[in-house]
Amino acid sequence: MKKNRTDNFDKFSLKKKGSAVKENIRQDKKKAKAESRAMGEAARQRKIDKARGIVTDPPKEKYSKGPYAKKTTGYEKKPSTRKSFQDAPPKYGELTPSHTTRPATTNKRTPASMDKADEKRTASIGKVNAASDTPYEQMPLNKYIAHAGISGRREAAAMVKSGHVTINGDTILEPGYKVQYKDVVRLKGKVLQLQVTPVYILLNKPKDYICTANDPEGRKTVLDIIKNATTQRMFPVGRLDRNTTGVLILTNDGDLAQKLTHPSYEIKKIYEVTLDKPVTKADMEAIAKGVELEDGFIAADAVSYLSNTSKDVIGIEIHSGRNRIVRRIFEHLGYDVRHLDRVMFANLTKKNVDRGKWRFLAEKEVRLLKFMNKSFTRKSAKEN
């Protein structure tokens, strides 16, 4: 039999069959728990609908007929007195409704107790969090906006505090407000929908493009370059000013965007700077030791000449995300920046990506981004 080369975990499953079996069991339990939680949420919604006068209960004979009633094990007639049985979660495949007695079955089809409204509601929950396989019950409002692909969480919090967000018609000013899955969230009157599929793009940004979704002056934006890449609403991460070129990430993943821009993660950035005149050795040392700007002290993580003959092209590594920080460092020392190019951002480079072109990030690259510099935040948490 031909080996499936696309299975990234094939070599592990072949070598450690016991581990593979245990992992399958864990995944089965996880899926059963998600199904059970979705059923419970559907039952609670039916109760709310009934209180409002909306009848959504299934017919009374739902268990008296059909294949669901036939597949029982006798527990309905002789219920166990053991508390552990009553509290035990259903096995994988037992899609039992939480508002009725749990009949034991291995039928993987949707049970007859779920009416069409419940099926639609449960399906929508699954679509929202298909990646985690777990339906969300509550989600902070700023996180909801970020997952809708509007912005990062910090920008979303500012929108909420400004009074631009409503839930079920009521204006909400608290970013941590818990959104229920059935709530209708609007931003300036427009209904927000959670993104289903996260998208990650690396762009080699050209000059004269701005990093914004819409520009009132009608200038070109980086979103114009990737407009044919996806139908998802994207936004840039680690923005570059109009005249700066190089590596730029665009995504609809608000959580990752927040991480890559948060100071606690110290995400590395490397720039190639072309100046109007050679940089003296004294100024190179000053950049390494740090300079005092109008918004505070700043020091480069590393700085060096990129040529033994030309001293006007400098490589600088820095993790600060402050606005126009590289340009301001050199301007503070009396240099005019002729060209600024970001050659690396979060360990991603523009290799094999021409200026003005883009590519999707590989799955491995996305995983590395999500776990990048996690130890930094752990250290800072311990110090505090």
Tell me the three state secondary structure of residue 98. Answer: coil
Strand partners, 318: 269
Tokens of 234: 């994207």
**Angle (CA) 348 350 351, round 5°:** 100
CA–CA distances in Å: residue 312 to residues 36, 254, 272, 298, 333 = 65, 38, 10, 21, 14
CA–CA distances in Å: residue 326 to residues 38, 263, 351 = 50, 16, 22
Is 241 noted as a catalytic residue in this protein? yes
CA distance 50 to 32: 27
| DSSP labels, 130-195 | TTTT---SEEEHHHHHHHTTS--HHHHHHHHHTT-EEETTEE---TTPEEETT--EEETTEEP---
CA–CA distances in Å: residue 213 to residues 150, 160, 294 = 10, 19, 29
| DSSP labels, 290-352 | -EEETTEEE--SEEEES-SS-SSEEEEEE----TTHHHHHHHHTT--EEEEEEEEETTEE-TT
Choose the catalytic residue: 28, 241, 295, 336: 241
Tell me the three state secondary structure of residue 205. Answer: strand
The set of residues, in sequence order, having a beta carbon less than 8 Å from that of 64 and lying 6+ positions away, is none
**Angle (CA) 220 269 339, round 5°:** 50
Whether 43 contacts 37, CB under 8 Å? no
CA distance 264 to 262: 6
Q: Would residue 66 be called left, alpha or beta, if left means φ above 0 and alpha means ψ between -120 and 50 degrees?
A: left
Residue position matching structure tokens 């969230």 = 185
- Tell me which residues are annotated as active site: 241
